[in-house]
Amino acid sequence: MSGGSVAMRLKPPRERRAGTAAWAASWLRANLFDTWTNTLLTLLVVAAAALILPPLWRWGVAHATLSGTTRAACRGGGACWTFIRVRLPLFFYGHYPAAARWRVDLSFVLLAVFAAPVLRTRTRRRGLAVLLLVTLFPALAAVLLAGGVFGLMPVETNAWGGLMLDVVIAFVTVAGSLPLGVLLALGRRSHLPVVRALAIGFIELWRGVPLLTVLFMSAVMVPLFLPQGVSLDRLVRALVALILFNAAYMAEVVRGGLQGVPPGQQEAAFSLGLGWWRMQALVVLPQALRIAVPAIVNTVVDLFKDTTLVSIVGLADLLGVVSQALKDPAWLGFPTEGYVFAAAMFFVCCFAMSAYGRRIERQLAAGR
């Protein structure tokens, strides 16, 4: 389930001439009607669009219903977005208590505040920003979300759900799997045969099995490996499984970055008398990770999409609560609306991340 490469952007030839109409005409001629085959293709595409788009528009917008509070409101013949609207809190927060939802909102605001300096291309102390994002922020968010201290009402993890759960899972998994992946990548390139064999074994084992079996193992088999009386929260168990699984993919991505660092860098660092760990930490890894950023972003997008799989092992993520809502007797018959909504939510998040990854890749390419 790992991603392909972030593609380079293709620049169509473009000539601007004076006068918009003339420019448009020449653009059309150059891009749509330059040869017979192209003209035919253009007509085919236009015909197909004329066939598909109007009904889609009528269903999704023109004849759709958004107002009202019961399914009786939906009689336009189009989509019933009312179903989505009245359940928005459920889809975003799951069964998180309504009185405490501000804590989720605040956590998201904090996430934005902490993530912004890391994501900005020109940040002076990126190292510090990353450190805060993976230490201070999770601590604050954990206190806010779980509660139980500072007079905050405790909220069990089995009340967490909806899109919020997907984001929590994705964040924790990235924060946990990236460091582990770096260690594994270094291990795989190590000259120590035992370390290398262990790293390769670990990576190939996880990459060879489906995520679903790994999640299922976390739900069913992990408890058997814990001593009597010790039990782990099921969300924590799923997180551990996701971290181990994704660490293997991160390792391969980081390894790609490591291979992009010129060997001369290591030799220079070595001749300066730096030890192996300091050489990796100060010289090699910063360069390797910078090269690997676009691929890491791809892995994060894949991971975010895969958080939907937790719905199969009984956690109520966005897809899980949508499926549950679909069998509510008061709101039967809107599976298309439900799944389209879930897909759209994921699309917005993933597309934004992919676009960010592409931008970084362009900057890297320009800097080379």
Q: Is 207 in the site for another protein (CB under 8 A)?
A: yes
70 binding another protein? (CB under 8 A):
no
The span of 15-23, 99-107, 127-135, 308-316 binding another protein (CB under 8 A) equals 308-316
Residue 2 zone, left/alpha/beta (φ > 0; ψ -120 to 50; rest): beta
Largest CA distance in the chain: 80
Question: Distances in Å between the alpha carbon of 36 and those of 15, 24, 26, 42, 257?
Answer: 22, 19, 16, 10, 45
Location of structure tokens 């990459």? 207
By beta-carbon proximity to another protein, the closer residue of 113 and 344 is: 344
Q: Is 262 in the site for another protein (CB under 8 A)?
A: no
DSSP state of 226: S
User: Residue 124, interface with another protein (CB under 8 A)?
Assistant: no
- Scanning 64-72, 127-135, 169-177, 329-337 for contacts with another protein by CB under 8 A, the matching segment is 329-337
Rounded-to-integer distance, Cα 212 and Cα 142, Å: 26
Residue in 24, 31, 105, 278 binding another protein, rule: CB under 8 A: 31
CB of 78 to another protein, least distance (A): 15
Among the listed ranges 57-65, 71-79, 254-262, 343-351, the one in contact with another protein (CB under 8 A) is 343-351
Single residue of 42, 123, 265, 287 touching another protein by CB under 8 A = 42
x/- binding map, residues 232-251, to another protein, per CB under 8 A?
A: x-x-----------------
| Residue 72 lies near another protein (rule: CB under 8 A) | no
Measure the CA–CA gap between 269 and 282, rounded to whole angstroms.
Answer: 9
CA angle 305, 306, 312 (to 5 degrees): 125
Q: Which span (55-63, 76-84, 115-123, 222-230) binds another protein, by CB under 8 A?
A: 222-230
Contact flag: residue 54 with another protein (CB under 8 A): no
Which CB, 138 or 161, lies closer to another protein?
161
Q: How far is CA 65 from CA 92, 114, 273, in A?
A: 21, 38, 70
| CA triple 44-48-52, angle to 5 deg | 170
